[in-house]
Amino acid sequence: MLHLGGCHCGNLTLRLRLTRPPMDNPTRSCQCAFCRAHATRTVSDPLGQVDIAARDGAQVERYRFETKTADYLLCKACGVYIGAMCDTPDGARMVTNVNTLDDRDAFPPSSTFPNHDQEAVEARMARRAANWTPATTHGF
């Protein structure tokens, strides 16, 4: 199923293809300080696909923190966080912030609350490669 979304001002748009109906996708609210500050609810599907496009690539922030192994993509104009992207041996992978999708209400309202703060870098990278969604970027 195809889900459309993006940031608030329209600079960043995303097209997310998931293999399951919205309600069958577990959503997660990561307990790191960044995700808690943004009240994120994320989804990923290793068999899906997400395409992110920027109208103005200079307005895309690739914020990195802690292990600095993923880019947290934010729009500089409106401040919205759309998801995190990471390079793996099989290409870019992403978790998408469900709250930026047009049909956000079709997804499960309650999340699991994983805490990855103590996770080693190798385990972190392996988890992302196995679980995150294959991703492409356009314009940034």
Rounded Cα distance between 128 and 140, Å, is 22
Region from 11-19, 33-41, 98-106, 114-122 binding Zn ion, contact rule CB under 5 A: 11-19
Region from 22-30, 77-85, 90-98, 102-110 binding Zn ion, contact rule CB under 5 A: 77-85
Rounded Cα distance between 94 and 116, Å, is 16
C-beta closer to Zn ion: residue 10 or 21: 10
* 135 touches 85 (CB < 8 A): yes
Chain residue at closest Cβ approach to Zn ion:
75
Q: Is residue 7 involved in binding Zn ion (CB under 5 A)?
A: yes
Residues touching Zn ion: how many (CB under 5 A)?
A: 6
Measured CA to CA in angstroms, residue 82 lies from 30, 39, 53, 123, 137 at distances of 14, 12, 11, 24, 13
The residue ranges that bind Zn ion (CB under 5 A) are 7, 9, 11, 75, 77-78
